[in-house]
Amino acid sequence: MATKADIGELKYDIEKVRADLSMGIERVRADLSMEIERVRADLSVEIARLRTDLELKIAGLDVKIGETQADMIKWVAGLMVAQGAAIVALVKFLPGFHS
């Protein structure tokens, strides 16, 4: 049978284990907080780098779109002139369409 002294020792041991556990939990929390902050800092740097890369690629695409648009306008104008010349030539060569 347990005596009051045994019960007192058990209570003391339980409190000691609780205190040790609480200190361990606090150390783990502190370590996790530091790790979380490190990861956030790393992610912030990586996100900034990706944004810069995307902005450069978008700027490059804008330039290519502008160049392509200018080329398309040149081709359309050239084809319209060629088509007009072909129509004029057909009208001249077909009998009965001109006076």
Cα 46 to Cα 48: distance, rounded to the nearest angstrom: 5
Query: What's the rounded mean pLDDT across residues 4-26?
Result: 91
Model confidence pLDDT, tens digit, residues 18-74? 999 999 999 999 999 999 999 999 999 999 999 999 999 999 999 999 999 999 999
Spatial contact of 53 and 59, defined as CB atoms under 8 Å apart: no
Here the tokens at position 76 are 């359309």
Q: Give the per-residue pLDDT at 4.
A: 83
- As given in the structure block, the two tokens for residue 12 are 């003391």
C-alpha–C-alpha distance, residues 53 and 60, integer Å:
11
DSSP state of 98: -
**pTM of this prediction exceeds 0.85:** no
pLDDT computed for residue 3 by the predictor: 87
Burial of 88 (0-12, 13-18, 19+ CB in 10 A): exposed
Give Dmax (Cα) for the chain: 134
pLDDT of residue 2: 73
Q: Given this model, what pLDDT does residue 58 score?
A: 96
Helix, strand, coil percentages for the chain (3-state, nearest 5): 90, 0, 10
